[in-house]
Amino acid sequence: MNNQVNVMIAGADMGGLIASCALHYDFQNRLLQEDRFRISRLEKNTLTMEDVEQCDLSGVEYVVNATLHDTEASFAFDEKCKKQGIPVIHAVNLGKAAFLAVGKPKGYPFSEVKKRNSDEGSIGKHEEDSIEKNEDRIALDSWNADIFQRKLGKYISQYGMFWQKPVPWIDEAIKNYSEKSFPQLSIGAYIAAGYCVNILCRLAEGKEVKYFPKFYLSPLLEEV
């Protein structure tokens, strides 16, 4: 892969870590070759529809969405990329772990995470009812990061149960964070950055990656 790959990274905090990791992916040989990626940035953790409309994707080959996914605009951004045939890597900080999903332009939409139904979940009915009531109350105002991360947690849990590969710590996290999102720890952000750049390299080299509804989930540090 001799030519630079044009990548747009949306997201301020974790987006900055991903950009830095991408630009220093091969620091040992960096003086002997050009940077692999040409990075453009949309340095906002929360996107607006105006941001999406004004975003110029000309020449962009891959997009990383490392925003908080806390507004509908984040998913509108995903749709804009898909319409232009651009794969999108969604990177999410789960505290001491990280979740990444690669959206294929003509594949399963990442926005399906929003529709996750708790009735299919693996946690207890009492906990589900409590969580759903909290989500309904919050949803009266607007979609936000707390709701997104709980919906994502349910998606991970249900996916694991379906394929008989349960993720117990996700179920526990859904209970513990029924009224708030996963803590945004630097550990999770750095893990996400490393995973993300590895996926970018594989995409750029034409290697196989998992596309959503499949995903990448790092283990908790306690389980390593």
**Residue 149: pLDDT over 70:** yes
Mean pLDDT of 165-181: 76
d(CA 39, CA 8): 6
pLDDT of residue 126: 39
pLDDT classification of 174: cutoffs 50, 70, 90: confident
H or E segment and range at residue 72: helix 72-83
pTM of the model: 0.83
Closest CA to 59 of 2, 8, 11, 15: 8
pLDDT of residue 124: 37
Distances, alpha carbon 217 to alpha carbons 59, 82, 101, in Å = 30, 23, 9
Looking at per-residue pLDDT, the higher value among 114 and 128 belongs to 114
pLDDT of residue 59: 95
Q: Which fold has domain 5-110+184-223?
A: Rossmann fold (3.40.50)
Tally of CA atoms within 13 A in the half-sphere of 128 that contains its CB = 13
Mean pLDDT of the chain: 82
Q: What residues contact residue 73 under an 8 Å CB cut-off, 6+ apart?
A: 47, 48, 49, 51, 52
Tens digits of per-residue pLDDT, 120-136?
443 333 344 444 444 44
Mean pLDDT of 105-132: 61
Ranges for all domains in the chain classified under CATH 3.40.50.720: 5-110+184-223
Which of 24-28, 41-45, 50-54, 184-188 is the least confident region? 24-28
Alpha carbon 22 to chain centroid, angstroms: 16
pLDDT of residue 136: 45
**Residue 137: pLDDT over 80:** no
pLDDT of residue 135: 45
Q: Dihedral of CA 167/169/170/172: which sign?
A: positive
pLDDT classification of 75: cutoffs 50, 70, 90: very high
* Opening angle at CA 169, ends 216 and 163, nearest 5: 55
